[in-house]
Amino acid sequence: MKLLTVMQPIGLVLILSACATPPAKVQPLEVSSSQYDRMNCKQLRESEGNWSQNVETLSEQQEKARAGDTIGVILIGIPASSLAGGDVETQLAQAKGHVKTIQSVIVRKSC
């Protein structure tokens, strides 16, 4: 009986660790600047805006996946959203990487 009492919190921690990562904790992937080096400042700002909007949209989706995972864990014991493909962590990391790279090119070009 004591073993079960000890194992329950450990199991809960393991299940919750499988949940979708919070958007703020998703780190940007490394993105080559070569595609942005040829752009002028106006094009860079436009591209930055597009990718920033993409980050915002993906962050909202990731937050929904995280909320769905939490509910799934509470109700059925599994992170349902992540298992159903709702987790967009990789796409979010890539979008964040593009924004970071574009911003560094903007600084380098003194836009």
Question: Quick one: pLDDT at residue 96?
Answer: 98
- Among 25-29, 59-63, 78-82, the range scoring the smallest mean pLDDT is 78-82
Contact between residue 20 and residue 89 where contact means Cβ atoms under 8 Å apart: yes
Question: Quick one: pLDDT at residue 68?
Answer: 72
Question: Quick one: pLDDT at residue 109?
Answer: 97
Tell me the average pLDDT of the chain: 81
d(CA 18, CA 1): 26
pTM for the whole structure = 0.74
Instruction: Count Cβ atoms within 10 A of the Cβ of residue 55 and give its class: 0-12 exposed, 13-18 middle, 19 or more buried.
Output: buried
Dump pLDDT digits (tens) for 6-39. 444 544 444 444 577 899 999 999 999 999 999 9
